[in-house]
Amino acid sequence: MTGRWTDYFHKDSEKYHSLLECAVNHWNYNDPLYFRIRNLIKPGARILDVGCGPGLSDIYLQACGYKVTGLEKDPEVLAQAKENASYFKTPARFESGDAFDLSGYHNSFDLAYSVGVVEHFDRPTTVRLIREQARCASSVITVIPTKYTSYSGQITDERIYTVSQLNGIMRDAGLNVVSQFGYGNITSPVHNLVRRLLPHGALRVLQDRCSYAMGIACIGRKDQ
């Protein structure tokens, strides 16, 4: 975690009047991800979040009945995640961890997921990171930003992939692609108009198959 992302989390939280308001906004935005997780594994399953940031998704998933462990390398962000967990009185665990070496977590989870992590590296390294997550769990969900994130902030070191390219990365990491989806409405007047005019089904096709969203995700599973 670079200083840029530490600053990002601080500035994001400062937009809200309270941690609760910030958390509710985060949970609403990521509800499509939670929906897929709930369909993939049942409450009681073990989840590993690689690069958890402030841990708000993990706090929510723990409240839904999952057993969640969030890993974060940056000490300041990890401290914030632990503080957030204390605020919400959740037993979700937050630990210091390195996405390149998850050996202490191998074969210990039902699902490993990451949001906005693997795209900061070149493609071979991204494959390596996802493969390492697959050593921890039988299912892996990878979420990355699309080119449309330029509407909400500058794209710097992020590699931008289409959903089909992300599928290829997952397969190269040794996973069978189960499904793909996009989520997060594109924030510009033109795209707001397009969203209003399109039938919901057509919008979902564009999001899930054509990367027409702020983020795209792929679910992969290991051979049983």
> Going by DSSP bridges, is the β-strand pair 137-145/67-72 parallel, antiparallel, or unpaired?
unpaired
Percent of the chain predicted with pLDDT > 90: 83
* Model confidence at 13: pLDDT above 80: no
Its pTM stands at: 0.91
Mean pLDDT is lowest, of 12-26, 84-98, 136-150, for 12-26
Distance CA(104)–CA(91), nearest Å, equals 20
Structure tokens at 18: 């309270």
Rg of the Cα atoms in the chain: 17
Fold of the domain spanning 3-221 = Rossmann fold (3.40.50)
DSSP string, 139-151: EEEEEEE-GGGGG
Distance CA(67)–CA(51), nearest Å, equals 17
* Model confidence at 172: pLDDT above 80: yes
Strand order in the sheet with 46-50: 93-96, 67-72, 46-50, 109-115, 137-145, 215-221, 176-183
* Model confidence at 165: pLDDT above 90: yes
> Which of the four pLDDT bands, split at 50, 70 and 90, describes residue 5?
very low
> Which of the four pLDDT bands, split at 50, 70 and 90, describes residue 9?
low
Q: Which residues contact 37 (CB under 8 A, 6 or more apart)?
A: 47, 61, 66, 111, 113, 141
* Model confidence at 223: pLDDT above 50: yes
Bridge partners, residue 221, by sequence? 139, 176
Distance CA(43)–CA(162), nearest Å, equals 31
Percent of the chain predicted with pLDDT > 70: 94
* Model confidence at 196: pLDDT above 70: yes
DSSP 8-state code for residue 103: G
What residue spans define the domains of the chain? 3-221
Q: 3-class DSSP state for residue 143?
A: strand
* Model confidence at 3: pLDDT above 90: no
**Span 130-162, pLDDT tens digits:** 999 999 999 999 999 999 988 877 788 999 999
